Amino acid sequence: MPDNTNQNDSARSLPENPSYEELVQALEASVARLEAGELSLEEAVVEYEFGMKVIEQCNAMLDRAELRITDLAEKASATQNDAE
């Protein structure tokens, strides 16, 4: 069986500080590799682990964005109430 470790590692590399959009693209590529059905069991498990890590990063980014939006909305509401 050929050693695809280096190929898989390079396919799953992410920029140092990826944007949400870059993470989504990486996740979509990972799903496509899994759905193609051409990976060995070990490669599929590694790919799945990678996808789960990407999802964790996406969720963390979404949580931070939600907190920022909530904070901005609260500040806007307080400013509006003070103006009345």
* Secondary structure letter of residue 15 according to DSSP: -
Cβ-contact 22, 15 below 8 angstroms? yes
Q: Alpha helix locations (H) across the chain?
A: 5-11, 20-36, 41-83
- Per-residue pLDDT, 63: 99
Q: Which residue has the higher pLDDT, 64 or 6?
A: 64
Average pLDDT score, the chain: 88
| 15-48 per-position pLDDT tens digit | 899 999 999 999 999 999 999 999 999 999 999 9
pTM of the model: 0.74
Other residues' Cβ atoms within 10 Å of the Cβ of residue 63: 10
Which residue, chain included where needed, has tokens 């990972």?
30
Band of pLDDT at residue 81, cut at 50, 70 and 90: confident
